[in-house]
Amino acid sequence: MDLTNSTGRTVRLFLVDGSPTGLMTAEIMNWTGHALIASRSRIGEALKREEASRTGVYFLLGDDPEQPTKKKVYIGEGDVVADRIKTHVSDGSKDFWTRACFITSKDSNFTKAHARYLENRLIQLARVANRANLANSSEPGKKALPESDIADMKFFLEQIQLILPVVDFDFLIPKPVFTAPATTTAAEPAPVSQLELILTSPKYGYTANAIEIDGEITVLKGSRAAENKENAHNQYGPLRDQLIKDGRLKPIEGQPFLEFTEDVTFASPSAAAAAIKNRNSNGREAWTLKTTGQTLKKWQDAQILAN
């Protein structure tokens, strides 16, 4: 699903007990699906609700204790969602999760075969997005469905992809894909949908390339980072250390650099810049637009002043 080119949608959120941290439901206009979200401490209340007795898919999300810089998620399905959740209570491998989301249907025609199909596709999408580590030990086989049912489930799946980030389950958001932007000038800034950025160090000789989409910075494979260990504070040091431990940032033999072995997405330009420079850095000043040479800060400020 292309989330960047979708038409406008209405998502209806309902705080069941009036609390922003309590039970929440989410629905999309003209969709038969229904989402129920609960913290682990409130899961007992969620399992008593009628939605939990339906057939559906569910997500158990929390921090990965073995890799603190990433989330961990378990994706499952059940003929009765509540029954499946209860089977996980004594499972030590699922102690990580702190929030749960159940996706069921208001349509009685939704069957276990549909849920199995969705579970398989959701696991595949989560692997490709690589935003969270999967707690699933195996990938279930895709349940055979009639052609018409597959078409219906593809639409259902698109709505799941849309609604999950709204309720802060963002592990299915696709990785940004770089596409060459149209030629732009300083008087005609790059399109808001995607910015092509560069960070260089004349002192140490490294260069990093990135794209910015909706506030996220994705540093591209092949970008280089400082190897030096400056006597400077780096609040993102643990993040950089984890990237090195994971092999996503590797030393280059015979050269004073580290290199990104894959595209890596950061939550902010400062996080990306600090991981590259190995010290705290104002990312809005460090990153510049390839097309105009403006700092990211100047470009963003210009967007505000132009309105």
Q: Quick: pLDDT tens for 221-239.
A: 999 999 876 667 888 888 9
Query: Are the C-beta atoms of 170 and 162 separated by less than 8 Å?
Result: no
CA atoms of 47 and 246, how far apart (whole Å):
37
Query: Are the C-beta atoms of 83 and 146 separated by less than 8 Å?
Result: no
- pLDDT, residue 244, reads 93
Please determine, for residue 189, whether its predicted confidence score (pLDDT) is greater than 50: no
> Which residues have a Cβ under 8 Å from the Cβ of 181 and sit 6 or more positions away?
190, 191, 194, 196, 291
Give residue 39's Cα distance to chain centre.
19
Higher per-residue confidence, 93 vs 102: 102
Ordered by start, the domain boundaries in the chain are: 11-166, 195-305
CA atoms of 51 and 58, how far apart (whole Å):
12
- pLDDT, residue 176, reads 73
- pLDDT, residue 68, reads 73
pTM: 0.80
Please determine, for residue 75, whether its predicted confidence score (pLDDT) is greater than 90: yes
